[in-house]
Chains A and B, each alone.
Chain A
Amino acid sequence: MSGLSSRAWFVSGTAALGLVVLVLLALGAGRYPISASEVAAILWSHVDGTSRGGTADAVVWQIRFPRIGVALLVGAALASAGAAYQHLFRNPLVAPDTLGVSSGSALGAVLGIFLGAGFVAIEVAAFAGGLLAVGAVMAIASRLRAHEPLVTLILTGIVVASLLGAAISLVKYLADPYNQLPAITFWLLGSFAAASGGEVRSLLPAVALALIVLLTLAWRINLLALPEDEARALGVDTKRLRAIVIAAATLATAASVAVSGIIGWIGLVVPHMARLCVGPEFSRLLPATAIFGAAFMLAIDTLARSIAPIEVPPGVLTAVVGTPVFIFLLARSRRAF
């Protein structure tokens, strides 16, 4: 055990260090040319209060810094939610949108765009939509046959998500093709381009709260990975613990989708990568997953805004980059999930 534990700390520690390096690189990357020394000077000027503004300062401080913050938070949130869901459903193929949070958020945002709401209102609508969708799934599932609670949850989630998807299609159909439809399409593709200090401030409490809840309950969450009877016989109130974990994961996911649109793959694959490195024990898995997710998302977003003159949707890149990495890790691993 101590061998595995120290390896886990080593992996997490290295990842955290890598993350810091990545942040510094990301601050220097971008379409607006700023040298590394200039970046350092600008950062320092904000630390000691001598910042004088100017375009380069705005680019680093107003554009890149918040965008990096949002990417880190979204990456950590989606990956952690994915890890929690995979434990919860005892299934390594589950993703955070299994219970419909992405569809609910998407519908909220799409309705906001359709009704001509402002940017902030759209984000709020997306957040609320995600929470409501999962709430509905939980409410419906709890009234159905409880003997197989997980299967019931997943099936209800699929049905609700499908219904929400139909509603989204309907709104797209009715939307004005010149004004609203492009906005809807671009929102659904996902993007960090609109990240500002406001997004960081709204994302941080939601993600922090969710992660804290998951971290403090981390050891108990291991027990959810056991068959229902066993967990209950060990004294765990599985229904309540499940509800809390779903609530925390949904909070983090809805907040992320509201800010940056739908970005798939991170919640499904990063937990796998982390598991392959540190094992499934959740109190070790969660910090590693969060760090891996943050780093991965930041790398993807930095690529997305640097490799082409236009913004590449991050969801496209996560699939393109992540798939070979995942296959490589799978081929090399000797562990089970």
Chain B
Amino acid sequence: MTRLVACAGMVAALAAHAVSSFAATRITDATGRAFDLPARIERVYAAGPPANVLLLAVAPEKLVGWTRAPHADEIPFLPPSVAGLPELGRLTGRGNTANVEVVVRAKPDIIIDVGSTSATFASLATRVQEQTGIPYLLFDGSLAETPRLLREVGRAVGASEAAEALARDADMQLADVAKRIATVPEAKRPRVYFARGPNGLTTAPRGSMQAETLALAGGANAIEPPPGFSGSLVNISLEDVLLAKPEIIVASDPALAASLKTAPAWRDVPAVRANRIYVVPDLPFGWFDAPPALNRLLGVQWLARVFYPQLFPEPLGPVIKAFHRTYYHREPTDAQVRALLDVAGIAR
């Protein structure tokens, strides 16, 4: 009799487990593909660096690995449990290095990708899904849509509560900045040039995904996109820069900034004359565009202060601390914050 009860109990428990697994979440990703996901997701694979940052914020305990192992100087900014995760490679996007078998061996319940949602990437996602049998969800990585992205991904990986808190914070940040700069007429917005590449002539023009940070912080991108432009970066000539007369230059790295300050041909650029060249801090993740994910929110806070010191009198230091604590789950030391402020060219 007891055996019968035990058996019945086991069967019931199994049934309940099965039912709970089938208590699926219905999700449609940004490419319109619909998924029925199990309610319990334990292991999530980030298909690219933007997804990596997002998952670090929303569900760090579910992350199975990094697309690229963190560098030695990034590790002090990351929580130790996450910093030590294995490197699994990038699945799609420019330069995929992951071996699909490595992905399968990591036994993720779900693969999350954030970035372009064009037909190419949608079909790549479908293909990996067919190869591995793991649901592959693709989401749009636009900066202005960060709150919605957080909520959707939170729902997909079963971390809705955490995601909701982050989404509200991101919403508040973006809304606050937008409200303050709404008072500044277009003509009064500072003209900004974003300089990349070894000679500073690679840039993300107005409307480019990689220049979103600049736009959201209220800057006027000095470079117009060429007709029919649909990518993220262009190469221009120095004459174009001189014609654009930028008042502020945001340089992607310190070496570039140094060379722009001394190059004789750049002397007549207004930003160089006024010595308003700012370097993008990049620890643990770049503040401007690399990777193009929610790490850029901090960049928006930074550039808003650079462009409109009157409108944003609050010091940046505490903002950095709060941001790292909230999104990267590790509060930086005062020394680390000071180092970041140094690179960013802001006193406090």
Contacts and interface: CB of A to CB of B under 8 A. Distances in A.
The answer to whether A and B touch in the complex, with CB atoms under 8 Å apart, is yes
B242 A58 contact: yes
Contact of B265 (A62, A183, A191, A305): A62
B237 interface: yes
Contact of A58 (B199, B224, B255, B267): B267
Contact of A177 (B93, B255, B265, B268): B93
B338 to A, nearest CB: 24
Contact of A59 (B199, B242, B289, B292): B242
Contacts of B133: none
Contacts of B196: 179, 182-183
Contact of B242 (A32, A175, A179, A311): A32
Interface in A6-41: 30-32
B202 A183 contact: yes
Interface string A97-118: 0000000000000000100101
Interface in B253-303: 253, 255, 259, 263-265, 267-268, 286, 289-292
Interface residues of A, number: 40
Contacts of B253: 179
Contacts of A308: 226
A235 interface: no
Interface in B43-100: 49, 68, 90, 93-95, 97
B198 A118 contact: yes
B74 to A, nearest CB: 13
Classify the secondary structure of B's interface with A: loop
Given A196-B264, A311-B235, A177 B95 contact: yes
B234 interface: yes
B161 interface: no
A113 B233 CA distance: 17
A183 B198 contact: yes
A337 interface: no
Contacts of A64: 239
Contacts of A310: 226, 234-236
Interface in B222-248: 224, 226-227, 233-240, 242-243
Contacts of A173: 95, 97
Contacts of B286: 178
Q: Which of B233, B252, B264 has the most CB of A within 10 A?
A: B264
Interface in A170-201: 172-179, 181-183, 186-187, 191, 193-194, 196-197
A49 interface: no
A121 to B, nearest CB: 9
A118 B255 contact: yes
A187 B94 CA distance: 17
B238 A178 contact: no
B340 interface: no
Nearest to B198: A119
A63 interface: yes
B239 A178 contact: no
B265 A193 contact: no
A50 interface: no
Contacts of B202: 182-183, 186
A55 B240 contact: no
B199 to A, nearest CB: 4
Contact of B264 (A54, A62, A172, A309): A62
A122 interface: yes
B264 A194 contact: no
A174 B68 CA distance: 11
Interface of A: 30-32, 53-55, 58-59, 62-64, 66, 113, 116, 118-119, 122, 172-179, 181-183, 186-187, 191, 193-194, 196-197, 305, 308-311
Interface of B: 49, 68, 90, 93-95, 97, 196-199, 201-202, 224, 226-227, 233-240, 242-243, 252-253, 255, 259, 263-265, 267-268, 286, 289-292
* CB-CB nearest 9 A-B residue pairs: A177-B94, A178-B290, A62-B265, A194-B199, A177-B95, A309-B226, A32-B239, A58-B268, A31-B239
15 contacts: A31-B239, A31-B243, A32-B242, A32-B243, A59-B239, A62-B264, A62-B265, A63-B238, A119-B199, A178-B94, A179-B252, A182-B196, A187-B198, A193-B201, A309-B240
